[in-house]
Amino acid sequence: MSEQSEQINELATALAKAQGKITGALKDSANPFFKSKYADLAACWDACRQPLSDNGLSVIQVPESDETGVTVVTLLAHSSGQWIRSSLHMKPKDTTPQGVGSAITYARRYALAAFVGLAQIDDDGNVASGKGKADPRGEPEDREYVDEKQVDKYVSLFTDALNADVEEEEKAKMVSGLRAELAGKNDLFIAVGEKMESRQKSAIRLYCESHTKAMKENIGRRG
């Protein structure tokens, strides 16, 4: 249920001006396994922060929790004192820090987009609900339990490989070897990707593609 100040005429006018400048959120976060991209919370903020600020608008988001899940309370405020407030409740699949954090981030992103009229793409919402990537037929795959120790292990291994002081060809081989170890372990690979920076995930994808290309060329020369 949403609430608002007694008057919102000035807020509505300011928001209309801001929306005239707000563009779609840039899909700059990569899912390395599925080679897809989505607009994360930072990208959503980048798309609307300046237009909102230029028109005296601010967004305040506060997370709350109880036994039923997490709730993000979002307040759109105007310099005149006028405001609109609403809450979005989410129920994480599990209560691990990662599960709760994903649900809060997801709720913040969607609430922000809804309040300011921001277009975005949802390629990571399944993280919050404990689901894998939806398949082309529209049926999501269940996310299985993932051992956090294994996740941290591979995050460390991938990071070390990416930072290794070796030739690019050797680095591509190391990264591809780690990727091969995770073949068939999609949930684990996705969880590893969630803990890595976008630039690291993009690098993993590029190194794997480079190694695959080199292998095909070697086979072609031998043939």
Over residues 70-103, the pLDDT tens digits come to 999 999 999 999 999 999 999 887 788 878 888 8
8 A C-beta contact, residue 158 and residue 200: yes
Of 24-33, 49-58, 90-99, 201-210, the one with minimum mean pLDDT is 24-33
Q: Which tokens belong to 204?
A: 């993993």
Residues 5-15: what's their mean pLDDT?
A: 96
* Position with higher pLDDT, 194 vs 120: 194
What pLDDT sits at residue 139?
33
Residue 39 · residue 201 · CB < 8 Å: no
DSSP conformation letters of 70-135: EEEEEEEEETTS-EEEEEEEE--SS-SHHHHHHHHHHHHHHHHHHHHT-----SSHHHHHTEEEEP
Domain boundaries, the chain: 3-142, 148-222
Instruction: For the full predicted model, state whether its pTM sits above 0.85.
Output: no
Phi/psi at 215 (5° precision): -65, -45
- The per-residue pLDDT for range 42-66, each reduced to its tens digit, is 888 888 999 999 999 999 999 998 8
d(CA 60, CA 108): 10
- Residues of the chain with pLDDT > 90, as a percent, come to 39
End-to-end Cα separation, the chain, in angstroms: 67
State how far the Cα of 129 lies from the Cα of 92, in Å rounded to an integer.
6
> CA dist 130 to 19, 95, 121, 125, Å?
33, 11, 18, 9
Cβ(15)–Cβ(55) under 8 Å?
A: yes
Neighbours of 87 (CB within 10 A): 15
Is 199's pLDDT higher than 50?
yes
